[in-house]
Structure formats: C-alpha cells, structure tokens
Amino acid sequence: MLRLAILVALCSAASCYESYDEYKILRVNVGSAADHQNILSLESEDLLKIFMESRSGHADVLVSPENLAECQEYFQSHGQGFSVLVGDVGAEIRKERRGMLQAAPVAKGEFTYDNYHRLKIIYEHLDALAEKHSFNAETFDLPGETYKKNKIQAIRITSNVTSAESKNKPLIWLDGGIHAREWVSPSTVMYIIDSLLGEQEKDKAEQMAALINKFQFIIAPSINPDGYEYSHTKDRLWRKTRKPSGCKWNKKNWFGGCFYWRCYGVDPNRNWGADWGNAGVSTDPCSEVYPGKRAFDQKNTKMVKEYLEPLKDKLKLYVTYHSYSQLFLTPLGYTTEKPDNWEHHLKVGEAVVKAIARRNGAKYINQQSASLYPASGDSADWAHDVLGLTDSYTFELRPDEYSSYGFELPAEQILPTGQENVDGLLALIDNIEYNNMKDNALEDVEFF
C-alpha cells in the first residue's frame, strides 16, 4: 500500500514527473574548446543534454536510449573517449523522490539538513529566523517578481540590523540556486545563514559575532525560484529559467508559430553582462547554455543586477554557490588570460580549499573558472568586471567530479557539505582584499 501511495504521489493530476527511464550519463573527454564545441553541436541536434561542464578535462552528458548508439559512434569518430557514469538516471531519480516522500514533514518555520526542501519551506525558515533574531536579521524581497510571479527572498544579517548605521557597513553578498537542479546549493546557503545566526556551528559563536558586527550579509538562497520549483514538481534535471525563449533553431513556420517546437528557459548563468554571448554558449533557444536574446533579459538576473548596482561601493565580496565538482573558481570565466588580481585570487583560493579539507576531508580544487574552456556571461564575472569587485567567486559543491551522484547528491551529504563550506567561507572572508587593507583586519578573532 505504501509503495502504491508513493507511485501515485510521483504523478500530479495533470502529468507525471519526467521519468528519464534508461537514460544514461556519459562522461566524455574534453581536451580542447573544439571538443567542447562538439558536445554543443550534438546538443543542438537534440542527441544529448549537457549535464555537467567540467573544468577538469571532461563533461558529463545525458543521453536517451534512442540516441545512445549515435552519440557513442560520434565520440569514437572524433577521438573523444567516454565512459558510462550512470546506467539508469530514472532509477536514481525515483530513489531520491521516494526518500523525500517518506521523510517526516517539517513544521512551519523549521528547516532540516537531512532532506531537500521546497521554496516555501526555505522562505518560511528565513522569516522565522528574522523573527527570532530580530536584532541581527531581517528578510525582504528583491524588487520585482520572476516570470512565474515568484519572489526572490533574501535575508540581511548584521548586528543592530534596523539601525541606519548598519546599512553603511561593508557588504557581503551570497546566493544559491541559480541553476534549478543544483539542490545542494540552496541547502548549503541555508546552512551558512543558520550558522551566522547561531542555529548551527555553535562553537563558532565568537567568530560569527565578529563578522556580523563588521559586515552586513545579504543572502539569497534561491535566485532562480521558477526553475527550482519546476525541478521539484516536473523535471528533476531542469537547469534553466522558465520563460519561453523561442523556437528550436530559431525556426518559425509560415503562420508565426514554431516550425519544430517551442523552447523554454535561458541559462541564467550565461545571462549576465560580462562578455555576454561570446563563448561557451549556443544560439539555439533549446540549448542548456542558451544565454538569452540579450544580457539580463531574464527577470531573475535583472532583479539581482538592479539590486546590487546601487550597492557596488559597499560590496566587498560576491559568492555564488553551484554544484557539482568540488571546485573553487576564480575570475575570469570567459578568457584564460589571467586578470590583474590573479595572484590575490590564487592565495585566497588556496586558503579556502585548505580550510574545507580540514573539516571533513573533502578535496576542492582551486582554479580559474576558464582554465579549460571559456564561458561568457556568468554572474561572478559580472560582479568582478562591471561592479569592479576584486573578490568575486564561484563554489562548485559536492559531489566531486568522479562521483556518479551528480545533482542527486544523497541527503546524508547535505550536512557535511554545509559544514565544510562554512569553514571555507570563513577562510575566504579572512583573506579578501578588504580585510587585508590597513585598518580593516578583523582583530582578536582567529579563523584558521
């Protein structure tokens, strides 16, 4: 009876969750920009979907049973080795969803790190934290709303949060969930929020108090709420936004409709105005890396942009959390040329990955975002180039690139991912340019 109830719950009244039965994830060698372009070409022909763009010599792609033989033949003929990473993606998704459906319900305002949670639970917990820690926290919505009428809720954490003086403190921005299917990202950002307010990492109370006394943190756990909700209700592997983006291959019929079919969504991490549309993107609106018709044509990216631009003089650190591969990525993402502040980035990254490893033994790699092939239009590059921010970084969270889990990181790894990234963030803040200027260092608090 329980099994039947779970199967019924997997389908809504309108339609079932995308099954991905017998789909496979192939790990394909990528040794050059040309190899990467081969994958983009196959994606444009609807023979595969880009699952994970590795910065370490390979990419993971999602292939249906019908297209498997053709993709394998293509890779062999082009000298790109591959292996089967996951034999049945659908089976893994069903396993994950069974665990979620069987989990105990979460009371309003509560949050746990033994399961993944919907947007409503995330927002309710932020509000509960602001009510409980009213001296140090307040919630607000970024102005505007997304295509699907969702809000992007953020929490502002600093001592004496309602005072006029607190709004003049140096600012640290953190965000998560820009890619819908990367569920461990919002969970990790939530753990960081809980830790800053003393709900987690209680042994670090002194360090957290020093941080929120000096800085104001503005943190948005899910900046692609439309896509995140869709990944929970319809398609676990959805990456993009949800606004209709055009016709397949941009081809329309005589009647003004699509000759093939309509495409949905834009890659929100190719939609920012930093070298927009030039590298690592596709002009096909159905592509996983379609950057949009122009920079910031997606409401969610525009909302973040318009919120941060007036604050650029206060902004001292920008961090965006993604998954997966266990990487700490420094600017720039659209060129392999080293920026002027490269040596500083290298030093910061080394401190971060060492701090992460000390916590649970997880090995993150410190590298420039474009170390293998460039990709234009990402948010961290926009903060670096347009806002003029030296310290702008991307975390790629668990699992590592050798794991078969991919975006379906087991629930028992949510908590350690959060723990190690609290330590990583503390090391990062301790090493940012602002804290190494005269008179700005945090005193009498040892981080690492």
Residues designated catalytic: 396
Residue 287 one-letter amino acid: S
Burial of 314 (0-12, 13-18, 19+ CB in 10 A): middle
Residue labelled with tokens 């809720």: 153
d(CA 158, CA 156): 7
Q: Which of 439, 421, 402, 286 is nearest to 352 (CA)?
A: 421
d(CA 38, CA 81): 13
Q: What are phi and psi of 217, to 5 degrees?
A: -100, 130
Beta strands 216-220 and 153-157 are: antiparallel
d(CA 270, CA 254): 31
d(CA 423, CA 429): 10
**Residue 47 CA: distances (Å) to CA of 50, 74, 205, 345, 448:** 10, 10, 51, 38, 48
d(CA 180, CA 240): 6
Residue labelled with tokens 């709004």: 167
Give me 46's structure tokens: 């609807």
Laid out side by side, the sheet with 82-86 consists of 49-53, 58-63, 24-29, 82-86
**SS3 for 188?**
helix
Q: What are phi and psi of 45, to 5 degrees?
A: -85, 5
User: Which residues are registered as beta bridge partners of 372?
Assistant: none
Alpha helices of 321-369 — where are they, by DSSP H? 342-360
Residue 283 DSSP one-character state = S
Contact between 288 and 253 (Cβ < 8 Å): no
Helix (H) or strand (E) holding 414: helix 414-431
Beta strands 315-325 and 392-400 are: parallel
